[in-house]
C-alpha cells in the first residue's frame, strides 16, 4: 500500500482539527523547501528521522537487455539519497 500526500493531509487534519487546505499548504511548502535546498546541493536533515542528500553518480557503461551486444553509455548525473535516522531504523527493523 502507498500513502499519498492526500492521505497525510486527511490524517493530520483529522488528528489536529486543522483545515485540510491549511495542512496541505504546510506540507507542500515543506516539500518545496526541501527540493529547493537539494537543488542548491545542500543536505536536509530531520533529527531522528533521516537525511536527504544529493550525490553525484559517475558515468558508466550499461547494456541494453534486449540487445546484450549493444553498449550504452550512461552519463553522469545527480541523485537524491535518503539515509534513515536511528529512531526510524529501529521502528522499521523492530529492534
Q: Residues 4, 47, 41, CA angle at the centre, nearest 5°?
A: 75
Phi, psi of 15 (to 5 degrees): -75, -30
The CATH classification of domain 5-93, taken from the options 3.40.50.300, 2.60.120.330, 4.10.520.10, 3.40.47.10 = 4.10.520.10
Based on the number of CB atoms within 10 Å of its own CB, is 33 exposed (0-12), middle (13-18) or buried (19 or more)?
exposed
List the chain domain ranges: 5-93
Beta carbons of 36 and 43 less than 8 angstroms apart: no
Specify the pLDDT at position 70.
86
Specify the pLDDT at position 26.
97
Please tell me the pTM assigned to this model.
0.79
| 3-46 per-position pLDDT tens digit | 999 999 999 999 999 999 999 999 999 999 999 999 999 999 99
Amino acid at each position: 500500500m502507498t500513502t499519498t500526500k492526500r492521505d497525510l493531509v486527511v490524517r493530520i487534519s483529522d488528528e489536529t482539527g486543522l483545515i485540510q487546505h491549511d495542512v496541505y499548504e504546510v506540507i507542500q511548502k515543506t516539500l518545496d523547501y526541501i527540493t529547493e535546498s537539494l537543488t542548491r546541493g545542500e543536505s536536509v536533515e530531520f533529527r531522528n528521522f533521516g537525511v536527504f542528500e544529493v550525490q553525484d553518480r559517475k558515468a558508466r557503461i550499461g547494456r541494453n537487455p534486449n540487445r546484450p551486444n549493444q553498449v550504452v553509455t550512461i552519463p553522469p548525473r545527480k541523485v537524491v539519497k535518503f539515509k534513515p535516522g536511528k529512531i526510524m531504523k529501529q521502528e522499521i527493523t523492530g529492534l
